[in-house]
Amino acid sequence: MSQNGKRRKQRKAAVDRDVISRLPDEILCNILSFLPTRTSVATSVLSRRWRYLWKKVHVLDLNDDFLYTPERSHKEAQERFLIFLNKFELLRRPIRKFHLSCRVGDYGYNDRFDWIDYVITRVSELHFSMRTDGESHDLHEPFYSTSLVSLVLDGNINISLEDFDPTHSESIFPSLKNLELHVNYVDLNVLLSGCPAL
């Protein structure tokens, strides 16, 4: 048998052994949803079958650690991460769960993270972990979401709800059933008054 014939036979045997690729998209996407998004995207090199499968996953689990290298400045890494996040926003795909772990440093948080408004109104689960250089960051923007069921906020954050008046406003999170806060400050009474399902 020629070398080409042997290689073809080996490739066919490998394809026959690849049982996982024969599973339906829904099952594969469910499996990918348990992986960090970066790992999920990396599966696109496995074969044509996997190339765009990660785009169908309804969970985004992002961490900006991979952008920080000795060759790249802190500011450049943050800019690249924001570009990366904005590309996901442009995809406009449905996202059920969004987990973001990022560093905040040189730029103003409220000015640069406009995408959080997009995310918070479209997901049912949000886990936001903000690592800082020790400096505290304020979230002044009022959060409102009818779709959010689970919210986890973690980091050196102060949550200001001074613009929210529970007697004259709608609920902040009318569907929220799970709330975990690991933050510096939040007016818990005001927040809870805006979460009737808790």
How does pLDDT run across 19-57, given as a tens digit for each residue? Answer: 888 899 999 999 999 998 889 889 989 888 899 898 888
In a domain, 138, yes or no: yes
CA distances from 146 to 141, 142, 176 (A): 16, 13, 8
Least confident stretch, 19-28, 101-110, 122-131, 158-167: 101-110
State yes or no: pLDDT of 63 exceeds 70: yes
Burial (0-12, 13-18, 19+ Cβ within 10 Å), 174: middle
In a domain, 37, yes or no: no
User: Can you tell me the mean pLDDT for 159-163?
Assistant: 73
In a domain, 92, yes or no: yes
Of residues 31 and 80, the one with the higher pLDDT is 31
Distance CA 148, CA 172 (A): 10
User: pLDDT grade, residue 107 (50/70/90)?
Assistant: very low
State yes or no: pLDDT of 111 exceeds 50: no
In a domain, 3, yes or no: no
In a domain, 114, yes or no: yes
DSSP 170: -
Domain span holding position 88: 58-193
The pLDDT assigned to 105 comes to 56
In a domain, 84, yes or no: yes
In this structure, what are the phi and psi dihedrals at residue 15, rounded to the nearest 5 degrees?
-65, -40
The pLDDT assigned to 149 comes to 94
The pLDDT assigned to 35 comes to 92
The pLDDT assigned to 169 comes to 61
In a domain, 137, yes or no: yes
Distance CA 65, CA 77 (A): 9
| β partners of residue 182 | 154
* Number of domains the chain is built from: 1
In a domain, 157, yes or no: yes
